[in-house]
Chains A and B, each alone.
Chain A
């Protein structure tokens, strides 16, 4: 389990002003579960994701995690290297690897037969699958997904949601998903945290069951969506422009 305790992050802007992007953020990311954190854009979620992955340091607070267990970061923009083919992308950062294992992971993410393809001319979904396989190759305990789906089309998103749920179960890996999309969080997560913006601060959380795409029209799913939206209205009363449903 990864536990964030009172994480705060402050920057000094170019004008010399101090800006607080995260304020006392506390949350728990359970092992082998999918946890989402929803906030409006520019609420410091990317910063939070980087802090969890040791790519940035917090100004204050602490992170409780097992230092032996790997946490992998998936940035919001496609991060597979266009100059490497799929197989070589999956092996980035590995000192040694088992070829069969790499082939298995490529197959697991649905890219069987594409080992020699270069990702530069392919879709966001294709590149996300490569990044996912590459993350899995490092045998992480947690994969931090930083709002990766916002530019994907509807069909690709649904396929990726399904893939992530399957991967979480089969590989026994947890996901921490930063998103601005309520439906996405409901379809993927076991737990959802709501964050108010400027500065980012966790307000509340919900433990839910993961919904399937086919359940999106169910009364239960819609009631959850309305409930989360209402919570957002309370914490950001002016508008909901920063999040999407």
Chain B
């Protein structure tokens, strides 16, 4: 049996075991408790959650915002890669100064932003795009000194133009690092966007969570957690497959 299949079977076994423990403890031993809802109640609530909170619309909005803006930001960085790399090489001192912005507490900025532009979809989009581009640019600036010098020397020696060296050698060398950023950033973005939506009372899953908290709907919160986890896992798998195709030399 292949290794992947074994891992999948083990995971399924693990989740079935967890489910079994959950049902036994919270259905029969501790039906009234402060930790988890009764399994039968939890199952009954499933359809109502989607209808009452318009969960499908909310989760689609938040997920599409995160992933579409992640892709758009990547495409933007791809288009201006030559300028970014040139800037990273030729203005190192300026960049070292600019990198101080990494220490600005993001959550403070997030709260400020949501107060400046309350319930604004556009502001939410701009915030996410600026954040993602900042992380991509920061990665490029930090990776620029790790590009293998032999690649650059050979390209120069073979009369490859400066612009093409930036686009062909430097950009390709940055790809594995940028995909690492995407992989980490997607989890971080979920947190940031949910908090932004929660604080700013704009749209999406953050607002739904806010409403559920207002109604003390503990079961709904648990559902949101499970569904968000599932969505994140699905997108992580898709991103992983894209990375394997695009950055094949690093795998």
Contacts and interface: CB of A to CB of B under 8 A. Distances in A.
With a 10 A CB-CB cut-off, give which of B157, B160, B249 has the most chain A CB atoms. Answer: B157
A54 B157 CA distance: 8
16 contacts: A54-B157, A55-B156, A73-B153, A75-B149, A75-B153, A79-B150, A79-B151, A79-B154, A81-B169, A83-B248, A92-B158, A93-B155, A93-B158, A93-B159, A93-B160, A118-B248
Q: Give chain A's interface secondary structure class.
A: loop
B172 A83 contact: yes
B76 to A, nearest CB: 22
B92 interface: no
B169 to A, nearest CB: 7
B172 A81 contact: yes
Interface of A: 50, 53-55, 72-79, 81-83, 92-93, 118, 120, 131, 134, 138
Counting from the closest, the 6 A-B pairs by CB-CB distance are A93-B158, A82-B249, A75-B150, A120-B249, A79-B154, A73-B157
A71 to B, nearest CB: 8
A22 B159 CA distance: 26
B155 A92 contact: yes
Contacts of A92: 154-155, 158, 160
Nearest to B172: A83
Given A55-B157, A138-B158, A118 B249 contact: yes
Contacts of B250: 120
B150 A77 contact: yes
Contacts, number: 49
B243 to A, nearest CB: 13
A81 to B, nearest CB: 7
A210 to B, nearest CB: 26
Interface in B57-72: none
A83 B249 contact: yes
Given A93-B159, A138-B158, 14 more contacts: A50-B153, A54-B157, A55-B153, A55-B156, A73-B153, A74-B154, A78-B150, A79-B153, A81-B151, A83-B172, A83-B175, A93-B160, A118-B249, A120-B248
Nearest to A135: B158
Nearest to A78: B150
Contacts of B249: 82-83, 118, 120
A206 B168 CA distance: 43
